[in-house]
Amino acid sequence: MRFNLRIYGLIINPKDEVLVSDELRFNRNFTKFPGGGLEWGEGLRETLARELREEMSLDAKIGGLYYVNDFFQKSAFTETDQLFSFYYEVSEVDFDRIKATTLKKNLITEGEQFRWVPLKKLNEDMFTFPIDKIVCNKLREQYS
């Protein structure tokens, strides 16, 4: 058994759209918020900043903690991993640097594609993983 710490960013543009990531990994398509896993020697905010630079060449301000799960969640990919997912608000973003679409498309090769979703149309069914669904509902309540 091992703990897997995942750190995600909530990036909302001036059009009240949130950025999501459509990905193909391990022969599986899924949709989640942008971010990734903590590496040895990093803090949570450092992890998210690194992930945004690696995935989108994006520098941004990592703001306040928005949500963390306080319940048991088994990893969808590794049976023996217990997940803890941290979601941070992200600001001071150069939105022009983000290559994103508004259409969902399942990928056929391993990788990721970013997509803007209007907050008013946000629905938990858009997301693959249970913790993302909770965060989606919190965002929807906050912005409705």
- Total H helices, total E strands in the chain: 2, 8
Residue 107 scores a pLDDT above 80: no
- The whole-number pLDDT of residue 105 equals 76
- The whole-number pLDDT of residue 25 equals 87
- Token pair in block for residue 59: 């520098």
CATH 3.90.79.10 corresponds to the domain 2-143: yes
Structure-model confidence comparison of residues 116 and 101, the more confident one? 116
Best CA proximity match to 87, nearest among 140, 142, 36: 36
Model pLDDT for residues 28-86, shown as the tens digit of each residue: 899 999 999 999 999 999 999 999 999 999 999 999 999 999 999 999 989 999 999 99
**Ramachandran class of 132: left when φ > 0, alpha when ψ lies in -120 to 50, beta otherwise:** alpha
Q: Where are the domains of the chain?
A: 2-143
Is there a contact between 7 and 36 (Cβ–Cβ < 8 Å)? yes
